[in-house]
Amino acid sequence: MSAMTTSVRPDAPAGVRRPTAPAPAGFEPVILVFTCNWCSYRAADLAGTARIKYPPNVRLVRLMCSGRVDPTFVLRAFADGADGVVMTGCWPADCHYRLQNVKALRRFMLLSRVLTDLGIEPARFQRVYASAAEGQQLAAAFTRITEEVRALGPLDWGGRNAAPLPSGRVSAAPPRPPAAPDPAASPPTPTPPTSTPVAPDPASAEVTA
Ligand code: FES
């Protein structure tokens, strides 16, 4: 194994793929959590009212059901700066929209494979079930996921931490070269005038003289 893949942070939890470079000092990950209105959002609410603490790194997005989570929401979250994304929802038999959380699970598994192929560590994208009464369990899951993502370091998938270009633009497409004339093309043929010239009216010339 190369030196690039053996760099291990001592504080990284077991099972987490280690970053090749240590996280910057004071790094705090942003964890975006999609919650279901009926279960996991209520559980997070319960954790708040019961004064159960979980890290402030977690940002909740309330949806009506985990089946509402579109894969583009997750991709957009990573591209816009999230270091971790969590899909939460009701337990499989408890979805208020019948099988939508089962469909969400299928979508989660497929998207996990795509994200892994794109180089995003599995610990950055996780799924958590929580009923409305499981505030304690949800808070514990948020704490665990935050620690795992903190150990991985910043994702910077959208290149937001990249040095700016001299022009100040984040990215710029190279200018297009002018199109070269095609030697095979025939020269343009002159177009004939569409109207014939009109001879001056002798009568009008007399009036003006
Ligand atoms: Fe909660 Fe569907 S209503 S996951």
- Does any ligand 1 atom lie closer than 6 A to the CB of residue 66? yes
- Answer yes or no: are the C-beta atoms of 139 and 60 closer than 8 Å: no
**CA–CA gap between residue 39 and residue 133 (Å, rounded):** 8
- Does any ligand 1 atom lie closer than 6 A to the CB of residue 101? yes
- What are the C-alpha distances in Å from 195 to residues 63, 161, 191? 69, 65, 12
- Does any ligand 1 atom lie closer than 6 A to the CB of residue 87? no
Q: What is the CA radius of gyration of the chain?
A: 31
Question: Looking at residue 25, what is its pLDDT?
Answer: 81
Question: Looking at residue 103, what is its pLDDT?
Answer: 95
- Does any ligand 1 atom lie closer than 6 A to the CB of residue 65? yes
For the record, the structure tokens of 34 come out as 């999609």
Instruction: Judge whether residue 132 has pLDDT over 80.
Output: yes
The position carrying tokens 């935050």 is 146
- Answer yes or no: are the C-beta atoms of 65 and 97 closer than 8 Å: yes
- Does any ligand 1 atom lie closer than 6 A to the CB of residue 132? no
- Tell me the average pLDDT across 171-178: 61
For the record, the structure tokens of 131 come out as 């009923």
- The overall average pLDDT reported for the chain is 81
Give 124 Cα–ligand 1 centroid separation in angstroms. 22
CATH numbers and ranges of domains, the chain:
28-152 (3.40.50)
- Selected residue with higher pLDDT from 185 and 173: 185
Q: What is the pTM of this model?
A: 0.69
From 33, 35, 86, 90, the mutation candidate for ligand 1 (largest count of ligand atoms within 8 A of CB) is 90
Give 39 Cα–ligand 1 centroid separation in angstroms. 7
- Does any ligand 1 atom lie closer than 6 A to the CB of residue 128? no
- Selected residue with higher pLDDT from 203 and 86: 86
The position carrying tokens 């009926």 is 38
Question: Looking at residue 18, what is its pLDDT?
Answer: 45
Range of lowest pLDDT (3-7, 76-80, 97-101): 3-7
- Put residue 160 in one of left, alpha, beta given phi > 0 → left and psi -120 to 50 → alpha: alpha
- Put residue 73 in one of left, alpha, beta given phi > 0 → left and psi -120 to 50 → alpha: alpha
DSSP 59: E
pLDDT digits (tens, 9 = 90+) for 80-102: 999 999 999 999 989 999 999 99
